[in-house]
Structures are given as structure tokens and as C-alpha cells.
């Protein structure tokens, strides 16, 4: 087969538009195809029963209590989406400096995992492993007297959190905290506990992005973080080589899959990661990306279905094996039309 450097016949012998003329021929040469198998649906779970709270900065997204989340899971499974990712909304009274609620066996995430695996065992369940929902200051780890997030003490709590999720029956733990060495520590603890089938999706290249605002509103951490930032552990948006180093370390430490976050502003990173490692590579279309597309569509400035599907295909084209997106259910329905 000729490579891309092979000389081509000149116009009019070669007319590139021939293959674009009809739908059938466009489909024949389509290089990337989107299916529901490519989707992971992130959801926010809160305490109580029959509770449903809209997220103001993310139209169409709701926080759901576990009983309603079970019904949501049944629909997600029916639509062919393989995985649902849980993010717990922690009551203020349960937050602390040591984030001990993170590994409470009866915490919201742990109870949600048990309920979901009991109701829809075929649906993959993924849990966030990070401490920001559980700290009074909104940082992803334990802090010292100067407010600096301490690495090793944080990793110790993250390990306890990940093991508690595995004990609840979760399929995938997803450390999103960006502490050094946490993947190796989590993998060692899972193996020691007999959780040899628990997969790790490492948020390996998580950038200190300004696109996370609506997510923090949904999770209830924005007020805790205040004017603080996460620059000392999340990656500098200006860096690319550093992401490759981070991914390499996480794969060496035992990650089964790696994540790039956010999505569209960082597709160059997705491509580099996929080309360099060939490992299962995922991307997160984050809350700010969702909110922008949703707002523009609601105002009639963009065609929601068209731009969302285009965004998804761009992520597949960049090399992503799967995409976390709040549009997952809509996309699955559109693909079925």
C-alpha cells in the first residue's frame, strides 16, 4: 500500500471530491467511527432518598440520590454505554482536614457502588479516587500548616479510599489527584487485598485547567477551595513533554488505562500519548466544555447534536479509546436514530 508521501496524480485524474459526493462513499472511507462503546457517563451522587438537584451551571445535569441513580444506571445500560463514573457530593458536616469520610465503608460512593452492582451488574462502575470532595479546604490532599498539599500522607489516604471502593465491588478506580507515586501504592494495596481484577484508570495528564468550574459547583467544592488553586500538583497547561513523563510513570506503576483531562484543548496530548505508548487512552470532556456547548446550543448559536458529535469524533481522531462526557446519553440516542 502506498504511503502518504507517494506522488499523486494531478487534477483532473484525481478528484478528491468524487468520494465525498454521496453518503455511501463518505461512509466507506470514514476513518473514525463513534459508537456507544466509546462513552463513559459521569454522574453526581448525593445522600438521601428521592433527591434530585439540578446543577445550575450545567443545564441538563442533576445530582441524584442512590435510589434514583439506580434507575439512571438501568437506562445507561439499556443505551449501550459500558461504564458510569461516580462523583460523590459530600455533606459539609462530613468534610474534615484528614478526609476520613473518603474511606468510610458506608460513605456515599461505597453505598452507591454496592447498590449499582446489585441492580445492574453488567454495567461497569468507575469511582473517583481523590480527596477534594472530603476536605474542608477543597484541595485534593492533606495540607500542612502553610496550606501545601503533602504527597505521602495524601497517598496513604488515597490507598485506603481505593481499597474501600474495591471492597464495595467497583470495577475501576480512577485516581485523579495527581500525587506522585499513588498509582504504584494503590496497585500494591489492591493486589495485597486480593482485588486483582480491579482496574486502574490513572488521570495521568490532568492539567490545572480553568475549565473545571461547573464541576466544582456540582460537587460542592468550589466554596471550599475559594480563591485557592491546584497549581502545585496539577499540570501546567503550557507543558507537553511533562505529560509523557507522567503517563510513563503511571503505566510503569500498574495503571491499566490513562486519562488526559480536559478534552478538546488538549487533543495534542492525547495524540502524543497514544502514539508513544499505545496503551488504552481516555479523555475527559470536562464540565466547562459541556457548559459552553450547552449554552451556545440553548441560545440557538450552535446545532447541539452536530457540534457534540463533531467534538466526539475529534477526540477519537486524536487517538482516544474512550471519552468521559456528560452528553453520553444524548450521544447514544443520536447514534441509534
CB 36 within 8 A of CB 316: no
Which of the residues 95, 117, 230, 261 is marked catalytic? 261
Predicted confidence at residue 3, as pLDDT, reads 64
Closest CA to 282 of 47, 22, 37: 37
Predicted confidence at residue 225, as pLDDT, reads 75
274 is catalytic: no
Predicted confidence at residue 1, as pLDDT, reads 47
Percent helix, strand, coil in the chain (nearest 5)? 45, 15, 40
Predicted confidence at residue 2, as pLDDT, reads 52
Predicted confidence at residue 223, as pLDDT, reads 64
Q: Determine if residue 246 is labeled as part of a ligand binding site.
A: yes
Instruction: Say how many C-beta atoms besides its own lie within 10 A of residue 1's C-beta.
Output: 3
Predicted confidence at residue 4, as pLDDT, reads 67
Calpha distance 191→308 (Å, rounded): 39
Residue whose grid cell is 473517583: 128
117 is catalytic: no
Domain boundaries, the chain: 33-336
- Give CA 149 to chain center in angstroms: 22
Predicted confidence at residue 42, as pLDDT, reads 97
Q: Enumerate the H helices of the chain as residue ranges.
A: 23-28, 66-78, 108-119, 151-168, 182-192, 213-219, 222-225, 241-253, 267-277, 287-298, 304-318, 328-336
The CATH fold of domain 33-336: TIM Barrel (3.20.20)
Q: What is the pTM of this model?
A: 0.93
CB 248 within 8 A of CB 272: no
Instruction: Say how many C-beta atoms besides its own lie within 10 A of residue 91's C-beta.
Output: 13
Instruction: Say how many C-beta atoms besides its own lie within 10 A of residue 89's C-beta.
Output: 20
pLDDT along the chain (337 residues), means of 10: 69 91 94 96 96 94 97 98 97 95 97 98 98 93 94 98 98 97 98 98 96 83 75 96 98 98 97 98 97 97 98 98 98 97
Which of the residues 95, 117, 206, 294 is marked catalytic? 206
Annotate 221-244 with b (16+ C-beta within 10 A) or e (fewer).
bbebbeeeebeebbbeeeeeeebb
Calpha distance 90→115 (Å, rounded): 18
Amino acid at each position: 500500500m502506498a504511503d502518504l508521501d507517494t506522488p499523486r496524480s494531478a487534477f483532473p485524474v484525481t478528484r478528491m471530491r468524487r468520494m465525498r459526493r454521496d453518503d455511501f462513499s463518505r461512509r466507506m472511507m470514514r476513518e473514525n467511527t463513534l459508537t456507544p462503546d466509546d462513552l463513559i457517563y459521569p454522574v453526581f451522587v448525593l445522600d438521601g432518598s428521592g433527591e434530585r438537584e439540578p446543577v445550575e451551571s450545567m443545564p441538563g445535569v442533576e445530582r441524584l440520590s442512590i435510589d434514583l441513580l439506580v434507575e439512571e444506571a438501568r437506562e445507561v445500560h439499556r443505551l449501550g454505554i459500558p461504564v458510569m463514573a461516580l462523583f460523590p457530593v459530600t455533606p459539609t458536616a462530613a468534610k474534615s482536614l484528614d478526609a476520613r469520610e473518603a474511606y468510610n465503608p458506608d460513605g456515599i460512593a461505597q453505598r452507591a457502588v454496592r447498590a449499582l452492582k446489585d441492580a445492574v451488574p453488567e454495567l461497569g462502575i468507575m469511582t473517583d479516587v481523590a480527596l477534594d470532595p472530603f476536605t474542608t479546604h477543597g484541595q485534593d490532599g492533606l495540607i500542612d500548616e502553610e496550606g501545601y498539599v503533602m504527597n505521602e500522607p495524601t497517598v496513604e489516604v488515597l490507598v485506603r479510599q481505593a481499597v474501600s471502593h474495591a471492597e464495595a465491588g467497583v470495577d475501576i478506580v480512577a485516581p485523579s489527584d495527581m500525587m506522585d507515586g499513588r498509582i504504584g501504592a494503590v496497585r500494591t494495596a489492591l493486589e495485597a487485598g486480593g482485588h486483582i481484577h480491579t482496574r486502574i484508570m490513572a488521570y495521568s495528564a490532568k492539567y490545572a485547567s480553568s475549565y473545571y468550574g461547573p464541576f466544582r459547583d456540582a460537587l460542592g467544592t468550589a466554596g471550599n477551595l475559594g480563591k485557592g488553586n491546584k497549581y502545585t500538583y496539577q499540570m501546567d497547561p503550557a507543558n507537553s513533554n511533562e505529560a509523557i513523563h507522567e503517563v510513563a510513570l503511571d503505566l510503569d506503576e500498574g495503571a491499566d488505562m490513562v486519562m488526559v483531562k480536559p478534552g478538546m484543548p488538549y487533543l495534542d496530548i492525547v495524540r502524543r500519548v497514544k502514539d508513544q505508548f499505545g496503551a488504552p487512552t481516555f479523555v475527559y470532556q470536562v464540565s466547562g466544555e459541556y457548559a459552553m456547548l450547552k449554552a451556545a446550543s440553548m441560545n440557538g448559536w450552535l446545532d447541539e447534536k452536530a457540534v457534540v458529535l463533531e467534538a466526539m469524533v475529534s477526540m477519537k481522531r486524536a487517538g482516544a479509546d474512550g471519552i468521559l462526557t456528560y452528553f453520553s446519553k444524548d450521544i447514544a440516542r443520536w447514534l441509534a436514530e
